[in-house]
């Protein structure tokens, strides 16, 4: 399977050319350089907020990734599929530690080491890379203008970006390029950290760095040029399925992003984000309730157990994702998620293996928004189907039963990216998967802006 390979099928009706390609999506590596195996549970890793008993060679669920885990993960990608058309890397490279223990130089060193690892394992492979909220100092506080970290990161990623993208990135850590230099396809790399509830730099600012206006203009030109577009970023809009009411975008930016997707859905072939560390997806609808887009949220490589209050079983097994796509239309044809059972690795042997593939596990024909609406409908109607999805949500870490509250939280997060609709959904309509949600300003729950 080579670079944008055309696979030739012989059929009774003649010869048909099928454009089939593959790309990787990795996210939330969160390397903790200070992880070590020691008998002192208080000295295993600074990324844990509690003592870590029995640390293993490949890490701990209480800690961020050690180098052994990250290194094995990237090399395993090469073993599984050594010649992807491109790689999506959606950020969060540094560990969950206090700002006083990092600093700009340390953040840049971590980004640099991971960049060089990927470049060394996949030489010549195009990587479209977005910054995560932890890829800055102080963390989350992304400015709307030039900054040393933007400049230095752009220099590290120079082999992956053209000169115009480098200049654009230095102004606000976002950019766009033709996908693999094809005339009718494009990738847009966003800096959604500008909209994070924990970013305190932009109170009252209508459009930090002018990114939303820029995005509107790029997508408008895409329609005029008949392009198909992939959008990638780190922090997704909407809500966290593991904790009711937790959102990441400030509400105004959340609604404006939704309106942009609604406006330009005809050219948006895929959206790919991270940040959650979990395996999930989000549906987008028209104002009349018809499905028109889907966002895939990839699991993280870090196994770190979230410290968000109220989250149970908040760790995950490391995961990474290989997409099969149509190189002509950019439609997602299938999605293979690979996982690393950390407990098994530490007690028996390290082994990355396929956890599931989308079409086989969920019985859908492909990864289009129409198919993912079918999957959402099944999640509502079939408890066994829901339980399978829930297992995959934590990358086969949390094997507990998804009860009615769990079902409500999972389904509402998928189908209600809009703030008002989400509040209406969690009111108690856990089994109602109708796409249309009446917009009623019910304030029956608080929407919690918490840090991740």
CATH of the domain at 172: 3.60.21.10
For residue 434, the model assigns a pLDDT of 53
List strand residue ranges (DSSP E) for 117-235, in order.
126-129, 175-178, 185-189, 228-232
For residue 54, the model assigns a pLDDT of 94
Extract the tokens encoding 414: 């998928």
For residue 429, the model assigns a pLDDT of 53
**Cβ neighbours of 105 (radius 10 Å):** 12
Longest alpha-carbon distance in the chain: 69
Alpha carbon separation from 413 to 12, 254, 402, 406 (Å, rounded)? 46, 14, 15, 11
Strand 332-340 relative to strand 86-89, pairing: unpaired
Extract the tokens encoding 174: 């976002």
In a domain, 445, yes or no: no
Q: What is the 3-state secondary structure (H, E, C) of 359-395?
A: HHHHCCCCCCHHHHHHHHHHHHHCHHHHHHHHHHHCC
387 φ, ψ (degrees, to nearest 5): -65, -40
Extract the tokens encoding 280: 């999930």
Q: What is the 3-state secondary structure (H, E, C) of 39-82?
A: CCCCCCCCCCCCCCCCCECCECCCCCECHHHHHHHHHHHHHHCC
Q: Which domain holds residue 55?
A: 6-425
In a domain, 129, yes or no: yes
In a domain, 155, yes or no: yes
How far apart CA 282 and CA 236 sit, in angstroms, is 9
In a domain, 433, yes or no: no
End-to-end CA distance of the chain: 38
In a domain, 435, yes or no: no
CB contact set of 396 (below 8 Å; sequence gap of 6+)? 317, 339, 341, 355
Q: What's the number of domains the chain is made of?
A: 1
In a domain, 443, yes or no: no
Strand 280-285 relative to strand 291-297, pairing: antiparallel
399 φ, ψ (degrees, to nearest 5): -105, 15
The series of mean pLDDT values per 10 residues for the chain, 452 residues long, is 40 53 98 97 97 97 98 98 98 97 97 98 98 98 98 98 98 98 97 97 92 98 98 98 96 98 98 98 97 98 95 95 98 98 98 98 98 97 97 98 96 97 82 44 38 57
Q: DSSP string spanning 303-329?
A: -PPP--TT-SS-----EEEEEEEETTT
How far apart CA 30 and CA 230 sit, in angstroms, is 24
How far apart CA 428 and CA 411 sit, in angstroms, is 11
**Cβ neighbours of 36 (radius 10 Å):** 12
Nearest to 58, CA basis, from 79, 46, 73, 47? 73
Alpha carbon separation from 260 to 207, 214, 241 (Å, rounded)? 14, 11, 23
In a domain, 14, yes or no: yes
DSSP 3-state of 3? coil
For residue 441, the model assigns a pLDDT of 33
Q: What is the enclosing helix (H) or strand (E) of 224?
A: helix 211-225
């Amino acid at each position: 399977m080579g670079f944008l390979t055309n696979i030739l099928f012989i059929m009774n009706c003649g010869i048909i050319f099928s454009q089939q390609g593959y790309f990787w999506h990795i996210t939330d590596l969160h390397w903790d350089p200070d992880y070590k195996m020691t008998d002192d549970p208080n000295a295993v890793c600074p990324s844990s907020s509690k003592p870590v008993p029995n640390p293993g060679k490949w890490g701990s669920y209480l800690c961020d990734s050690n180098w052994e885990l990250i290194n094995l993960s990237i090399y395993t990608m090469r073993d599984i599929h050594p010649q992807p058309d491109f790689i999506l890397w959606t950020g969060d490279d540094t560990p969950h530690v206090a700002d006083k223990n990092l600093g700009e130089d340390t953040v840049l060193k971590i980004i640099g080491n991971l960049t060089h690892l990927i470049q060394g394992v996949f030489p010549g492979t195009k990587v479209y890379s977005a910054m995560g909220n932890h890829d800055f100092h102080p963390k989350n506080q992304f400015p709307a203008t030039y900054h040393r970290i933007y400049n230095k990161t752009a220099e590290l990623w120079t082999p992956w970006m053209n000169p115009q993208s480098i200049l654009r990135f230095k102004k606000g850590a976002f950019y766009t390029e033709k996908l693999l230099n094809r005339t009718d396809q494009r990738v847009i790399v966003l800096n959604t950290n500008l909209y994070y509830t924990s970013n305190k730099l932009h109170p009252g600012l209508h459009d930090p760095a002018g990114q939303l206006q820029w995005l509107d203009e790029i997508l408008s030109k895409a329609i005029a040029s008949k392009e198909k577009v992939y959008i990638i970023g780190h922090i997704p809009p909407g809500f966290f399925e593991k904790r009711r009411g937790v959102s990441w975008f400030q509400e105004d930016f959340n609604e404006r992003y939704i309106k942009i997707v609604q406006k330009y859905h005809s050219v948006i072939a895929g959206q790919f984000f991270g940040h959650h560390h979990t395996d999930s997806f989000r549906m987008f609808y028209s104002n009349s309730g018809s499905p028109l887009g889907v966002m895939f949220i990839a699991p993280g490589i870090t196994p770190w157990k979230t410290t968000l209050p109220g989250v149970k079983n908040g760790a995950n097994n490391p995961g990474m994702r290989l997409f099969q796509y149509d190189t002509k239309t950019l439609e997602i044809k299938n999605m293979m998620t690979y996982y690393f059972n950390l407990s098994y690795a530490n007690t028996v042997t390290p082994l990355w293996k396929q956890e599931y593939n989308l079409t086989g596990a969920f019985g859908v024909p492909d990864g289009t928004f129409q198919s993912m609406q079918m999957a959402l409908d099944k999640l509502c109607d079939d408890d066994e189907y829901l339980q399978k999805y829930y297992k995959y949500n934590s990358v086969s870490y949390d094997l507990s039963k998804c009860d009615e509250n769990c079902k409500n939280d999972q389904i509402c997060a998928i189908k209600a990216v809009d703030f008002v609709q989400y509040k209406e959904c969690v009111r108690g309509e856990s089994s109602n998967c109708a796409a249309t949600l009446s917009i009623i300003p019910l304030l029956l729950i608080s929407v919690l802006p918490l840090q991740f």
